[in-house]
Structure 1
Amino acid sequence: MELSDYIRILRKNWLVIVATTLIGIATAAGYSLTRTPMYEASSRVFVSTQAGGTVQELQQGGSFALQRVGTYVQLAESPLVLNPVIAELDLGGTADSLAAQVSASSPLNSFLIDISVEDADPVLAANLANAIAASLTTAVESIEMRDEQTASPVQLSRVKDALPQANPVSPNVPLNLALGALVGLAAGLGIAVLRAVLDIKVRNARDVEALTDRPLIGAIPFDPKARERPLILEADPHNSRSEAFRTLRTNLQFLEMDGGHSFVVTSSLPSEGKSTTTINLALALADAGKRVALLDCDLRKPKVSEYLNIEGGAGLTDVLIGRARVADVMFPWGKRPLYVLPSGKIPPNPSELLGSKQMGQLLDALSKEFDVVLCDAPPLLPVTDAAILSRSTSGSIVIVAAGRTTTHQLNGALDALETVGGKVAGLVLTMVPTRGPDAYGYGYGYGGYGTYTTSQSATPPPAPAPAPPRARRSRRSAEPARQMTREPEESNLLP
């Protein structure tokens, strides 16, 4: 993974990271508020020996005292020292319970012993520290005394009295909040990375490039109103989604497909924008002056006639079984050089019809009459129609819905095409977010470029060419369409 990938993960999961961090801070705050404040008081004792006046005696006494310091530290937390303190202050507890509040320590190579006591009452903590220091002094003198006539060679002197403290030592609220924030942040980052690792959906162009070496020839931005206006080039020609289809048109023209120009448009699963992409691509090609044949080869759930608002009762199935001629069922649509062949009635054997010899002959004939032939085919994973049809076309255009199609589904679709020997011309990413970490880079606008119209397309329209056969007019068809085309010779198409 590159740095940009980590940045994308952070941008994508920043809400989770912020939420876990706030939860960590709230947990630490709750813990701190429910703890009883504890106050600490410390007293200090100095250990000395009663040695002679010579240097050697002083050195021996110092060494003896230094050896004893470690023992006295442990003795400060023993019942021998704590029981008299309990009796003196009338605490009513045991030596073990009091020892849990006491800590004794000595700096390295030092004759000092620090006695610290924690308690909810700051005054009691100070009294306990002073009382323990005094009890330790008495206990050491009693232990080190050789007999009743000889004084103890070790003497403990209290050099610092414990005083009540105004501020508690625990809970340490700032420290707890900082730790809570760090733990929450770490948990959020862990969740973000885990989600990225376990995410198997195709979300951006990099995910597509990691799965296949076939080119990504287009990226169509997500449009929340796509269901209301599926033909975006008709509804809003200046929309960024419309421009994306024009970009797809340009990229498609640069594909090297052995001189062929017939494509089957399919996807892994339904609802990935296959039919709308096919139709809008056909419109974009027709706007550039290309003569386009649009075939609805989805003989299971046809959508082309519904989106284009044309009669679809007779069409491709009638041609394939010899019931009708192409000239009788192919419709010109609008004022563009675009002609549509609906699916016709749904047959009981779609795969057999699409893989028949008649279908191959039909595609060959249409390829000679039109600049581009687009076939809207069913998804690849549920049925084999598109894979079978791909053998008769120049290549397949696979639609991938960003955030919906999984890597397994896309791999399965590509494998289905490769199994039958079909060529993958390219992939088109649809429903791409226009904002956020997975955005493809839309939203440039056209404010500085003037008004865009289809007549200003970068590709000039070619000279008029023979049009496909005259047929029944659709409700969207207009009389000018007849005026701008001429009827082709029927011998060029299948009977």
Structure 2
Amino acid sequence: MELRDYIRILQKSWILIAIVLLLGVGAAAAYSILQTPKYSSSAKVFVSTSAGSTVSELQQGNTFTQQRVKTYADLVTTPIVLLPVISELGLDLSSDQLARMVTASAPLDTTLIEITVVSADNAESARIATSISESLTRVVEEVEAPADQTASSPVKLTLVQHASVSQSPVSPNVPINLALGALGGLALGIGLAVLRETLDNRIRNERDVALITEVPILGGIVFDPKARERPLIVHADPRSPRSESFRTLRTNLQFLDIGREDRSFVITSSIESEGKSTSAANLAIALADSGLRVLLIDADLRRPKLHEYMGLEGAVGLTDLLIGTAEPQDVIQPWGKQDLFILPAGKIPPNPSELLGSEALNKLVVEFNGAFDVVLFDAPPLLPVTDAAILARVVGGTIVVCAAGKTHKNQLKGAFTALQNVDAPVSGVVLTMLPTKGPDAYGYGRYGYGYGYGDIDSKAVPAGG
């Protein structure tokens, strides 16, 4: 992934990251509340040796003392020091349990030993630290005592600082716990966001399509929650941004397949419910509004919908032409005040694929190309059935509709593979259902259109029977 991909993930998943961050802070706070406060008390012991009479003897004595200090610090947590303390204070602890409460340190280049005790009772921690210091002095005096009982020990330990009763607990450290909880929650949230994005195999934007195919992207249609209520948006609201996107698609369509004389295209998709039928209908209206003579054919002989969208009778249509029971002038119906004509699917046949691959369809395509400026075929999805692939090979141009956030990348790849297997050319891709907000939003501003931009001369034309 590139840097912009991570930025996009952060923009897209900031709510998830924020929730996990708050959960991390909450967990740290709960942990801090449930923990028993512990207090720390420290006592200091000074280690000295008998003074010498010369500089050399003093130097040797100082070196000897510093070497001994670390040994005495390690001696603090041994039973020989701790057992007398347990007996003296009447502690209900073993020497191992007490040792886990005690730490001893010897600062570098000093002859001091700092004995620290951490306990849930602040007064108890102070008593234990002082008692251990006193026990250590006695043990060292006994250990370092010379064999000659008449001589005194050359090493002397002196308790120079009694442990004081601490008023503030050393744990839990609430600020640090909260900071660690926030950092942990932030890291986990970002990790979950990246994982979710990595596992998400859906097409989200133009860049995802570009990673799959080099076929040009003809345009994008934003998501409209009222699309079911007003499928013919170019007719219902010609000034809306969504209508403008179909006019942009109309303009781009004029530059497709410049070397091909026929301007007929199959409009299909990978799976169902990607908006191919509504896209075909709105594109046909936009083309007719520009003065072109347009024929829109419902070639979905399994689940035809165009006659419902256009408000026409669909009892007869393409099926009747293919089996020879009707003539084009009998079943093609005009729509609106422009040169837009609709050919419904007609009755649903038992063999749609065979009809669409028949010689009769080849003759109809040639006839329609000669009679109309643009011919659009609304075909079934490519993955469930082979109808669209068969039709695309005959027609010679294919526009694949892809729904952002719905179509998976492998589904779009499969659609292109289905077309390649029959040597059907792909003219372009149209993205539908693009979000209007968020990092994947499809913005009209980059094309120089304001939200209310529309064709001032455009008039909504009534549907004709």
**TM-score bin (small chain):** over 0.9
Aligned to 2:132: 132
> In the alignment, which of 313, 324, 343 is matched to residue 345 of structure 2?
343
Alpha-carbon offset, residue 83 of structure 1 = 1.4
> In the alignment, which of 432, 435, 441 is matched to residue 433 of structure 1?
435
Alpha-carbon offset, residue 379 of structure 1 = 0.5
Q: Which residues of 2 match residues 132-211 of structure 1 at below 5 A?
A: 132-146=132-146, 147-211=148-212
Aligned to 2:458: 454
- Note if contact 1:310-1:476 (Cα within 8 Å) is conserved in structure 2: no
Aligned to 1:74: 74
TM-score computed with the length of structure 1 as normaliser = 0.90
Aligned to 1:109: 109
What is the letter of the counterpart of residue 198 of structure 2?
V
- Note if contact 2:241-2:451 (Cα within 8 Å) is conserved in structure 1: no
Aligned to 1:248: 249
Write out per-residue CA displacement over residues 173-218 of structure 1, whole angstroms, 9 at most, x where no aligned residue.
Answer: 1111111111111111111111111111001000001100000001
Write out per-residue CA displacement over residues 337-361 of structure 1, whole angstroms, 9 at most, x where no aligned residue.
Answer: 1001111111111111111111111
- Note if contact 1:221-1:442 (Cα within 8 Å) is conserved in structure 2: no
Alpha-carbon offset, residue 417 of structure 1 = 0.5
- Note if contact 1:261-1:394 (Cα within 8 Å) is conserved in structure 2: no
Alpha-carbon offset, residue 285 of structure 1 = 0.3
Aligned to 1:407: 409
Counterpart-to-counterpart distance in 2, 1:423 and 1:358: 21
- Note if contact 2:238-2:455 (Cα within 8 Å) is conserved in structure 1: no
1:276 aligns with 2:252: no
Counterpart-to-counterpart distance in 2, 1:350 and 1:278: 20
Counterpart-to-counterpart distance in 2, 1:162 and 1:142: 24
- Note if contact 2:241-2:452 (Cα within 8 Å) is conserved in structure 1: no
Counterpart-to-counterpart distance in 2, 1:442 and 1:174: 47
Alpha-carbon offset, residue 420 of structure 1 = 0.4
Counterpart-to-counterpart distance in 2, 1:422 and 1:178: 60
Per mean C-alpha deviation after superposition, the further-off stretch among 87-96 and 242-251 is 87-96
Write out per-residue CA displacement over residues 462-491 of structure 1, whole angstroms, 9 at most, x where no aligned residue.
Answer: xxxxxxxxxxxxx9426xxxxxxxxxxxxx
Per mean C-alpha deviation after superposition, the further-off stretch among 336-345 and 256-265 is 256-265
Alpha-carbon offset, residue 446 of structure 1 = 4.4
> In the alignment, which of 372, 375, 387 is matched to residue 373 of structure 1?
375
Aligned to 2:2: 2
Structure 2 segments unaligned to the other structure (5+ residues) = none
What is the letter of the counterpart of residue 384 of structure 2?
P
> In the alignment, which of 294, 316, 319 is matched to residue 317 of structure 1?
319
Structure 1 segments unaligned to the other structure (5+ residues) = 457-474, 479-495
1:329 aligns with 2:331: yes
1:391 aligns with 2:393: yes
Aligned to 1:359: 361
Counterpart-to-counterpart distance in 2, 1:87 and 1:55: 44
What is the letter of the counterpart of residue 241 of structure 1?
R
Aligned to 1:472: none
Alpha-carbon offset, residue 455 of structure 1 = 6.3
Per mean C-alpha deviation after superposition, the further-off stretch among 303-312 and 48-57 is 48-57
Counterpart-to-counterpart distance in 2, 1:451 and 1:362: 35
Counterpart-to-counterpart distance in 1, 2:254 and 2:394: 19
Write out per-residue CA displacement over residues 372-413 of structure 1, whole angstroms, 9 at most, x where no aligned residue.
Answer: 000000000011010000112131000000001001100000
SS of residue in 1 equivalent to 2:272: coil
Aligned to 2:96: 96
Alpha-carbon offset, residue 273 of structure 1 = 0.3
Count of residue pairs the alignment pairs up: 460
Give the root-mean-square deviation of aligned CA atoms.
Answer: 1.6
- Note if contact 1:290-1:372 (Cα within 8 Å) is conserved in structure 2: yes
Counterpart-to-counterpart distance in 1, 2:213 and 2:254: 21
What is the letter of the counterpart of residue 226 of structure 2?
K
Aligned to 1:417: 419
Alpha-carbon offset, residue 128 of structure 1 = 1.1
- Note if contact 2:221-2:242 (Cα within 8 Å) is conserved in structure 1: yes
Alpha-carbon offset, residue 259 of structure 1 = 2.5
Write out per-residue CA displacement over residues 297-322 of structure 1, whole angstroms, 9 at most, x where no aligned residue.
Answer: 00010001111110111111111111
Structure 1 pair 231–447 and aligned structure 2 pair: CA distance change class (3 A)? closer
- Note if contact 2:356-2:390 (Cα within 8 Å) is conserved in structure 1: yes
What is the letter of the counterpart of residue 348 of structure 2?
I
What is the letter of the counterpart of residue 126 of structure 2?
A
- Note if contact 2:444-2:450 (Cα within 8 Å) is conserved in structure 1: no
Structure 1 pair 451–294 and aligned structure 2 pair: CA distance change class (3 A)? closer
What is the letter of the counterpart of residue 350 of structure 1?
P
Counterpart-to-counterpart distance in 2, 1:453 and 1:57: 110
Aligned to 1:471: none
Alpha-carbon offset, residue 370 of structure 1 = 0.8
Aligned to 1:263: 265
Aligned to 2:220: 219
- Note if contact 2:82-2:99 (Cα within 8 Å) is conserved in structure 1: yes
Alpha-carbon offset, residue 323 of structure 1 = 0.4
Alpha-carbon offset, residue 84 of structure 1 = 1.4
Aligned to 2:54: 54
- Note if contact 2:404-2:433 (Cα within 8 Å) is conserved in structure 1: yes
Counterpart-to-counterpart distance in 1, 2:354 and 2:413: 25
- Note if contact 1:317-1:345 (Cα within 8 Å) is conserved in structure 2: yes
- Note if contact 1:263-1:375 (Cα within 8 Å) is conserved in structure 2: yes
Counterpart-to-counterpart distance in 2, 1:343 and 1:447: 37
Counterpart-to-counterpart distance in 2, 1:238 and 1:8: 31
Structure 1 pair 211–449 and aligned structure 2 pair: CA distance change class (3 A)? closer
What is the letter of the counterpart of residue 457 of structure 2?
T
Structure 1 pair 279–5 and aligned structure 2 pair: CA distance change class (3 A)? same
Counterpart-to-counterpart distance in 1, 2:398 and 2:205: 20
Counterpart-to-counterpart distance in 2, 1:127 and 1:186: 43
Counterpart-to-counterpart distance in 1, 2:455 and 2:277: 29
TM-score computed with the length of structure 2 as normaliser = 0.96
Alpha-carbon offset, residue 451 of structure 1 = 7.1
Alpha-carbon offset, residue 71 of structure 1 = 1.1
> In the alignment, which of 467, 472, 477 is matched to residue 464 of structure 2?
477
SS of residue in 2 equivalent to 1:290: coil
Counterpart-to-counterpart distance in 1, 2:426 and 2:65: 89
Counterpart-to-counterpart distance in 2, 1:449 and 1:379: 33
What is the letter of the counterpart of residue 416 of structure 2?
L
Structure 1 pair 448–303 and aligned structure 2 pair: CA distance change class (3 A)? closer
Aligned to 1:487: none
Alpha-carbon offset, residue 60 of structure 1 = 1.7
